[in-house]
Structures are given as structure tokens and as C-alpha cells.
Amino acid sequence: MQQEGEMTYRSVLKEVDGKPAVFIGSRTGRDDAEKVLLRVGDTEKTISGQQWAAAPFWAGKRPVWAGK
């Protein structure tokens, strides 16, 4: 069962290393955890929750892999 707000976390696109990235998980299930797991294209990447919070929103076209 999804927790309240989970879809919100997973629908936000931010720019990480010049590419669109989407939150896919963390130990707490929230995007403000100490470490967060992201999907950047076909790659998964772990960064700190602070880096994720500070990342700018993606301004480009939404990639097909990011869903809706």
C-alpha cells in the first residue's frame, strides 16, 4: 500500500548532473531521508537528501521513462 504523498515524491523531476532525475526510494520511503535513491535515465544513483532538496526542478520535456 502506498503511503500518503509517495506519488508526489515519485512524480517530481529534478536536475541532477545536468540530467532529469526522479526519486525512487529511501530507507524511510521519503525524499527527505539521509540518503535517497534516484533514477537518472536508465541508471540508479544515490545522493544525500540535502542534495536532492537543493537540486533545481527539471525545466525540460518530461522523459518517457519518468512516467506521468
The answer to whether residue 12 sits within a structural domain is yes
DSSP state of 51: H
Question: What is the pLDDT at residue 44?
Answer: 95
Instruction: Give the mean pLDDT of 5-25.
Output: 82
The answer to whether residue 42 sits within a structural domain is yes
The answer to whether residue 1 sits within a structural domain is no
The answer to whether residue 68 sits within a structural domain is no
The answer to whether residue 53 sits within a structural domain is yes
Q: What is the mean pLDDT of the chain?
A: 86
The answer to whether residue 21 sits within a structural domain is yes
Q: Is the pLDDT of residue 3 over 90?
A: no
Question: What is the pLDDT at residue 8?
Answer: 61
pLDDT digits (tens, 9 = 90+) for 32-47: 999 999 999 889 999 9
The count of structural domains within the chain is 1
**Angle, CA of 19, 47 and 52, to the nearest 5°:** 65
Question: What is the pLDDT at residue 2?
Answer: 44
**Range of 43's domain?**
6-61
Half-sphere exposure of 27 (CA within 13 A, CB side): 6
